[in-house]
């Protein structure tokens, strides 16, 4: 089962490319509404379990709680079920014909919740405060990551990197006979979470061959992956790209070519990625060593500061999750989960019915 994150914290707040999948041609989306603890994640897990024998399933985890789901994609039906509440608020653009709201708030006891109004408001505001602090830490990290990238970009041999990417593609990706380009989709494979900067390695492990590019400075690896993705698409292959949300600009961290069973991943000081039996690619050789040596102290300081900021962001996310668990307790106590189970079955039935996803 493919697994990604729906999105993650970035300098501007929550960042996600998921809306592109919702707006894709032929995709029908069920948007779940309801507060914390209303059973959205559990409902999606049930949908995934019930339909797994009929379709490939892609799950999207919550970066604030990687054990919870934010979305499920049923490929055979081109159907999505997604949590449409903050911070990833989704609303129907074309109600009924492309998207449908499923309101789990219909199954809670409003009076019981109102009895705890002040407590619910208090813990909700506390959680919001923690998340704003995480945003500040990530914004500070982003400035340092950007500085490292730009410093390294100046000393990267761009033309050599592009030639290397072209040769790699020519060697590994036979050009298809049909003169048709592939397409690029964006899904997030790594994110800041309460468990650290976390990569969904189970997705990588499904690939026959994984190529790992060790890059302490991000720029050369990003250039290689972008050129490689372009070459793959030009040769007729669909590509999944995962960008790193720790940068202001678009920086590629992973490129997946599922048809060929190949994954290309950048290993950095942030993700510390190591994949068993992976092919190691020396991308550091494309930097001018003498020029980079002059910037050694600056880059070392950036790396140290980012490491400390990441530790603080991770701990604050863990604190935020604890408070979020408190919020959930109030709603769990007020929910009729037998009705939620019926809603899960209803969604499965509608997804199975092809007329509901046209």
Please tell me the total number of residues recorded for the chain in this structure.
Answer: 358
Mean pLDDT value across residues 283-306: 97
> Quick check: 355 pLDDT over 70?
no
Domain ranges of the chain: 2-108+336-357, 137-299
Mean pLDDT score of the chain, rounded to an integer? 95
Mean pLDDT value across residues 9-38: 95
Which backbone phi and psi does 129 adopt, to 5 degrees?
A: -65, -45
Return the pLDDT at 354. Answer: 54
Q: Is the pTM of this model over 0.85?
A: yes
> Quick check: 264 pLDDT over 70?
yes
Could you give the maximum distance between any two Cα atoms of the chain, in Å? 69
Return the pLDDT at 298. Answer: 97
pLDDT in tens, 199-223: 999 999 999 999 999 999 999 999 9
């Amino acid at each position: 089962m493919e697994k990604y994150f729906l999105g993650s914290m970035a300098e501007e707040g929550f960042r996600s490319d998921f809306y592109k999948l919702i707006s894709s041609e032929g995709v029908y989306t069920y948007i779940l509404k309801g507060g914390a603890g209303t059973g959205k994640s559990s409902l999606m897990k049930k949908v995934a379990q019930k339909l797994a024998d009929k379709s490939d399933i892609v799950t999207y985890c919550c970066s604030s709680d990687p054990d919870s789901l934010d979305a499920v994609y049923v490929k055979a039906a081109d159907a999505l079920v997604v949590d449409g509440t903050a911070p990833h608020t989704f609303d129907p653009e074309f109600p009924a014909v492309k998207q449908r709201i499923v309101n789990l708030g219909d199954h809670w006891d409003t009076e019981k919740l109102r009895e705890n109004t002040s407590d619910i408001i208090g813990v909700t505001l506390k959680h919001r405060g923690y998340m704003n602090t995480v945003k500040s830490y990530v914004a500070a990290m982003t400035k340092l990551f950007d500085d490292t990238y730009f410093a390294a970009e100046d000393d990267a041999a761009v033309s050599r990197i592009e030639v290397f990417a072209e040769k790699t593609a020519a060697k590994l990706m036979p050009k298809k006979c049909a003169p048709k380009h592939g397409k690029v989709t964006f899904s997030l494979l790594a994110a800041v979470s309460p468990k650290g900067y976390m990569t969904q390695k189970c997705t990588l492990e499904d690939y026959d061959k994984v190529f790992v590019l060790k890059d302490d400075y991000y720029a050369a690896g990003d250039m290689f992956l972008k050129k490689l993705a372009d070459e793959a698409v030009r040769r007729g292959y669909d590509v999944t790209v995962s960008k790193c949300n720790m940068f202001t600009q678009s920086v590629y961290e992973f490129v997946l070519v599922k048809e060929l069973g190949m994954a290309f991943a950048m290993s950095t000081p942030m993700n510390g990625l190591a994949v068993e039996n992976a092919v190691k690619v020396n991308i550091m050789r494309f930097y001018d060593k003498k020029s980079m040596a002059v910037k050694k102290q600056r880059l070392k300081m950036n790396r140290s500061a980012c490491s400390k900021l990441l530790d603080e962001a991770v701990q604050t996310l863990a604190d935020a999750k604890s408070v979020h668990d408190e919020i959930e307790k109030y709603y769990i106590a007020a929910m009729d989960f037998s009705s939620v189970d019926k809603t899960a079955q209803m969604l499965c039935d509608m997804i199975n019915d092809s007329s509901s996803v046209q």
